[in-house]
Amino acid sequence: SAVTCPGFFFYYKQENIFDRSRMAPETPIKNEPVDLSKQKGCTPERSPITPVKLIDRPQPDPWTPTANLKMLISAASPDMRDREKKKELFRPIENSEQSDTPDSLQYDMVDDSTVDEFEKQRPSRKQKSLGLLCQKFLARYPSYPLSTEKTTISLDEVASILGVERRRIYDIVNVLESLHLVSRVAKNQYCWHGRHHLSQTLKTLQEAGELQYGELMNFFQHKEQDLEYKFGEQKKETIPDSQDRSLMDFSEPDCTSASANSRKDKSLRIMSQKFVMLFLVSKTKIVTLDIAAKILIEETQDTVDHSKFKTKVRRLYDIANVLTSLGLIKKVHVTEERGRKPAFKWIGPVEFPGKTTNLGTCAPYRICATGRQRFTCHTSFNSAQSCEETRRKVSSEPSSPHQERQACATETILKSARNPSVTSPLSLLSVPGDSDFCVNPLPQAVFPVVQTDVPSLSLPNGISSQPPHPSALAASKTENGKPTLLPNQPFLCFPSSSLFMLCGGLQENNLRESLLSARDVGNRNAGAQAAVPSAVCQKRSPHKCASPSAPVDDEEPAAKKQTMEQRDLPLSLVVSKKPLESPRAESTPGSGCTSAGHLEAFHLDLTSPAAPEASNKEPTKSLDSQEQEKGSQNKDPDEPSPEKAHISTESTNQPFLPQYLYVQSTAGLSSLNFLLPANQAPGAISLAANQLPSLSVPCVMVPPAALASFPLVCSPTITSPLPTVPDGSFSAATSMSFSMSSLASTAPLFIGTTAVVTPKVSPAPSVDPHQPAHSAQRLSPALPRSCGAVKLDSHVCMGHPVTLLKLQQPSSAPLTPKNIRPVHHEAFFKTPGSLGDPVVWKKNEGNQTRSASSVQRRLEISSSSPD
């Protein structure tokens, strides 16, 4: 009941528990009967033993402080005797919980009156539940503490007070932390923030969730079985869990230390955020545990292990209990063919007025805007989340086209995340929804850097690439130490592996308009990144991460983008809105949000040009902002302003005609894949099959959908080719680090393969403009085109100078086998590297399995791959 009546619950808590605890934490203790035997945490003090009875006892009176006192008093004598029994029977926690919970139940239970009975009744498991414990915990603190007051939480103290072992407190705190209700300030010390930022956090999560899980959720909801099936496959194939993980890990490192990542990947916090995302993304707002577990497992796990599934479910229950205590969800059951399935329904806020940005501002927290990112305040979290998210995306890839697309998108994102060792930024970026947040950072990162090693290229995936890029860039930089930006250059070097989607012929007009408007808005979406910022900053710090402070702003943008509606859309930048078919896409213009169906599409879109509606929708918003940013960025091509890189957004409404050529590099990974606007004359792109000719493509590069946040480079039209940059300009460094921003410049992109480019690059694919439209989900060479989903913001690009991208194909060679994608198309967006044979990946990962997320692994690989 408490759950259902949050208000009441809280009120109650505050009145009673809270006051007690806070005001006099000790008193509570006293009140609480401590179970000497059980309570580990119980400090001797508490141990005092006052019989818990008091609490337990249901007194007629509501739990008011006074009532408590009465109880205590009354209990006094009996307590003593009962003590022993109670020890076992009642724990402080229980007691407190009961007391805490307004529920009549408690009273009922207790009412009996006699202590003995109580004892007999012995607290049931429920009474010991994490949910109740959490309620007690929450009761201790005000939901909306004064900004001025900072409440610190001592884990030990709380544990002792609540009469539980610290381990349990961690469970609670981790979940609360994921929502920014608390933040860790030091060992054993957390800071209570209350719900002030909850809406923002949720918003951010929602955005991120859309990007990451939008399609999946929809998909699942519609086809669980299929999905499952797919997932299984995907996991096997694509999910290089390790890679994904790696992403996460890296990302985290950004924020925190890399070391933490491994564990954090699986962190309850991240899981919590992801879980929340699922709700926020779900149209029905109902998420079954099995689906959630599947989705989450995919992300992290390589193999679909039943035991893992069970474990995941257990964790989800833990999280759900806390969320329930927060009044955000409630338990329900979904009846399906199979029968009744446990599920939870989101009963928390659905719309979030605020902008996500603020979160970032909140000192303690930061939301990593990135979809995948972690919202968690802690840097570590943020990064981790992002990574994880990305991973998930990747992993989650559905076998089905849609799924694939999505997967691709996610993968790309993930990849991006991973790649950038730092990823976090990327990850952030990648997330479309987050895009806002991400935007700034990414761009920065993105800049044209030439990375030699960067394996990851987010680009490839287009969307994903974007986010990744930044990170990638960063990563490359860090890794190489030379993230070289290409000064001024309009070029970007892409790692061979990367895939690019180029889109041409987007609705430039629309975009432009949107952009303009966007500009007007002045959003600098930079702000958008807010959430991301922190994370980004950390990661990016080098760049510009806009100061975290920015977050606020960022959030706003994000918020804008992803207003409820939009959020539906997968942000994916990818969005290209309607690629070729725009017509279909068309529709949803404003909706931005793509319906579930869209979602799927959008992912796909990201990858595939075609991605119609979904992409459209999303793009609209985010794109606009992005575009705007781009525009700005473009202004300074040279400088990669963080924000610059944007994905152009299209007006959602307007369908685009995306025309793409998907150029696939041969080896899948190694080679680049891009989409060239169909419009262009094929000739324009002269890709020798073997080499990489520098291409001038008046196309837009569309980063992965995720990019939304990132700058996309779009060249709407195929303008005349840009001046080609000398291939040589880009060193073989394959890194594609092109900064998104630079790309963002939107100027038409010029893609030139470096001389180095290996012939592998399969131009051929590129040749087919048409194909692209379809699914390009697969990076695999075979699938070249699929990528179409790019979102273009041609407009943006249009005006701008052309960007030259050079593709390197570094000998793509080296592509690690991993990179090479197996036949599976599922991999879609994965960067070439990511694409690698799943099997291989797995193998590679094998060792890492646990610690490193697949993403991470990927990253690692990629990083090495450069080799």
Partner DNA sequence: TACTCCCGCCAAAAC
Partner DNA sequence: GTTTTGGCGGGAGTA
Which residues sit at the interface with DNA, rule CB under 7 A? 38, 40, 124-126, 128-131, 155-156, 164-168, 170, 173-174, 184, 186-189, 256-257, 259-264, 266-269, 289, 307-308, 310-311, 313-315, 317-318, 320-321, 331, 333, 339, 341-342, 380, 850-851
Locate 176 and state its tokens: 């609360």
Minimum CB separation of residue 202 from DNA in Å reads 21
Residue whose tokens read 């408490």: 2
Q: Cα 430 to chain center, whole Å?
A: 8
- Give the containing element (helix H, strand E) for 700: strand 694-702
Minimum CB separation of residue 231 from DNA in Å reads 18
Whole-angstrom distance, CA of residue 825 vs CA of residue 782: 8
Question: Torsion angle of alpha carbons 482, 485, 489, 493, nearest 10°?
Answer: 60
Taking the least distance from each CB to DNA, the nearer of 147 and 152 is 152
Positions of E strands within 604-659: none
Minimum CB separation of residue 328 from DNA in Å reads 15
Residue whose tokens read 């590099």: 665
* Contacts for 578 with CB less than 8 Å, ≥ 6 apart: 584, 585, 586, 605, 610, 611, 612, 613, 615, 616, 650, 655, 656, 657, 658
Q: 163's torsion region: left (phi>0), alpha (psi -120 to 50) or beta?
A: left
Taking the least distance from each CB to DNA, the nearer of 126 and 222 is 126
Minimum CB separation of residue 167 from DNA in Å reads 5
Minimum CB separation of residue 313 from DNA in Å reads 7
Minimum CB separation of residue 190 from DNA in Å reads 8
How far is the CA of 327 from the CAs of 127, 281, 344, 346, in angstroms? 18, 18, 12, 9
Residue 832 neighbours by CB distance under 10 Å: 43
Q: DSSP 3-state assignment of 508?
A: helix
Minimum CB separation of residue 160 from DNA in Å reads 12
Minimum CB separation of residue 317 from DNA in Å reads 4
Positions of E strands within 208-339: 286-288, 329-335
Minimum CB separation of residue 607 from DNA in Å reads 30
Taking the least distance from each CB to DNA, the nearer of 248 and 575 is 248
Minimum CB separation of residue 338 from DNA in Å reads 8
Residue 44 neighbours by CB distance under 10 Å: 10
Q: DSSP 3-state assignment of 445?
A: helix
DSSP letter, residue 397? -
Minimum CB separation of residue 319 from DNA in Å reads 10
Residue 335 neighbours by CB distance under 10 Å: 9
Minimum CB separation of residue 479 from DNA in Å reads 20
Taking the least distance from each CB to DNA, the nearer of 90 and 750 is 90
Minimum CB separation of residue 305 from DNA in Å reads 8
Minimum CB separation of residue 856 from DNA in Å reads 11
Taking the least distance from each CB to DNA, the nearer of 301 and 808 is 301
Nearest Cα neighbor of 642 from 650, 651, 632 is 632
Taking the least distance from each CB to DNA, the nearer of 85 and 543 is 85
Taking the least distance from each CB to DNA, the nearer of 64 and 257 is 257
Minimum CB separation of residue 320 from DNA in Å reads 6
Locate 606 and state its tokens: 């990201």
Relative to beta strand 803-807, strand 749-753 is parallel
Asked whether 337 and 344 are in contact (CB, 8 A), the reply is: no
Asked whether 168 and 159 are in contact (CB, 8 A), the reply is: yes
Q: Cα 12 to chain center, whole Å?
A: 34
Taking the least distance from each CB to DNA, the nearer of 127 and 456 is 127
Sign of the Cα torsion 124, 128, 134, 140 reads: positive
Taking the least distance from each CB to DNA, the nearer of 34 and 439 is 34
- Give the containing element (helix H, strand E) for 242: helix 241-255
Taking the least distance from each CB to DNA, the nearer of 66 and 847 is 847
How far is the CA of 820 from the CAs of 302, 350, 682, 778, 825, in angstroms? 18, 41, 27, 11, 11
Taking the least distance from each CB to DNA, the nearer of 122 and 843 is 122
Whole-angstrom distance, CA of residue 438 vs CA of residue 535: 9
Taking the least distance from each CB to DNA, the nearer of 61 and 336 is 336
Taking the least distance from each CB to DNA, the nearer of 161 and 449 is 161
Whole-angstrom distance, CA of residue 470 vs CA of residue 475: 8
Q: DSSP 3-state assignment of 154?
A: strand
Minimum CB separation of residue 339 from DNA in Å reads 7
Whole-angstrom distance, CA of residue 819 vs CA of residue 852: 17
Taking the least distance from each CB to DNA, the nearer of 184 and 842 is 184
Nearest Cα neighbor of 278 from 393, 376, 143 is 393
Nearest Cα neighbor of 836 from 24, 242, 310, 231 is 242
Taking the least distance from each CB to DNA, the nearer of 378 and 800 is 378
Sign of the Cα torsion 492, 497, 498, 499 reads: positive
Q: DSSP 3-state assignment of 323?
A: helix
Residue 340 neighbours by CB distance under 10 Å: 9
Taking the least distance from each CB to DNA, the nearer of 376 and 634 is 376
